[in-house]
Chain A
Amino acid sequence: QQQVKQSPQSLIVQKGGIPIINCAYENTAFDYFPWYQQFPGKGPALLIAIRPDVSEKKEGRFTISFNKSAKQFSLHIMDSQPGDSATYFCAARGLNTGNQFYFGTGTSLTVIP
C-alpha cells in the first residue's frame, strides 16, 4: 500500500512553463515533507522541504504548497528550464513508524527548450 500517492507519473512542459507535481497522504502522523530531485545515474538529492504548520515555502524557483486539511502537498517549478529535467519524488516522515521516510512513486519531468 502506497503511503504517499504522487501524480502525474510524467510531465512535459515548454521552457518557462510551470510544472506542478501533486502528492497526497492519509497518515496524519506524518510531520515533515521533503521533495527530492534525481538526475539519471545519480542518487536523489534534497530540493526543498516543508513542515505541516506552514502552508507555503519558496526556495528560488521552487515552491511547495501544503494543504493540511486535504492532506495534500504540491511542488511548483517557476520559469522551468531544460536543466530542471529530472525525476522528482515527494516524501513524508512518519512519527509513528520510527521516523521512516515514505516516498512517492516519482514524476519524470521533461522541459523542452
Chain B
Amino acid sequence: NAGVTQTPKFQVLKTGQSMTLQCAQDMNHNSMYWYRQDPGMGLRLIYYSASEGTTDKGEVPNGYNVSRLNKREFSLRLESAAPSQTSVYFCASSEALGGVSGANVLTFGAGSRLTVL
C-alpha cells in the first residue's frame, strides 16, 4: 500500500546543476501534480497532468519541466538549478481533475527536500 512514492528524499545541488525528481503512484489515479512548499508561502502548484499524455503549467512553472512518463509516473526536472529553487517538493495524485469533489482528493508523497547552493 505505497500510495505516492517520491525519490530522492534529500538532494543538495550546486547552482547550474540539473536533476530530476521522480514520482510514482500505485492507485491508478489519472491526475498527478508537483507542488513546492516554502515557509510562509504554503503549497504552490508547479505543473500538473490531468491525464496521461497531458501536462499544464501551474502557478510557478518557471525553471521546471515535467514528463508524464505513463499513468503511474510523473517526473519534475530542474535543468539549471538556482538557489531560489531550494524548497521541499511534493508530488500528489488524484482520481481526476475537476468533476465530483470526491475524485479530487489529493494524495501526497512524503516530499523531497532540495537545497541549491
Is A60 an interface residue when CB atoms closer than 8 A count as contact? Answer: no
Q: How far is the CA of A67 from the CA of B108 in the complex (A)?
A: 28
Stretch at the interface among B12-20, B42-50, B70-78: B42-50
List the B side residues contacting A43 at CB < 8 Å: 4, 90, 92, 108-111
CB <8 Å contact, B104 and A44: no
List the B side residues contacting A36 at CB < 8 Å: 106
Is A29 an interface residue when CB atoms closer than 8 A count as contact? Answer: no
Q: How far is the CA of A49 from the CA of B4 in the complex (A)?
A: 21
Q: What range describes how many residues of B lie at the interface?
A: 20 to 34
| Nearest neighbor of A45 in chain B, beta-carbon distance | B108
List the A side residues contacting B79 at CB < 8 Å: none
Contact residue among B42, B92, B104, B110 (Cβ-Cβ distance under 8 Å from A42) = B110
Q: Report B93 CB to chain A, min CB distance, Å.
A: 11
Q: Report B36 CB to chain A, min CB distance, Å.
A: 11
CB <8 Å contact, B111 and A99: no
CB <8 Å contact, A104 and B42: yes
Q: Report B66 CB to chain A, min CB distance, Å.
A: 15
From residue 1 to 18 of chain A, which have CB atoms closer than 8 A to chain B?
2, 4, 6, 9
- What residues of chain A have their CB less than 8 Å away from a CB belonging to chain B? 2, 4, 6, 9, 32, 34, 36, 41-46, 49, 51, 89, 91, 93, 95, 98-106
* 7 A-B pairs closest in CB distance: A43-B108, A99-B98, A103-B43, A105-B42, A103-B42, A32-B101, A99-B97
Given A103-B42, A105-B40, 13 more pairs with CB closer than 8 A: A2-B42, A4-B42, A34-B104, A34-B106, A43-B90, A43-B111, A45-B107, A51-B101, A98-B48, A99-B98, A100-B58, A101-B104, A104-B42
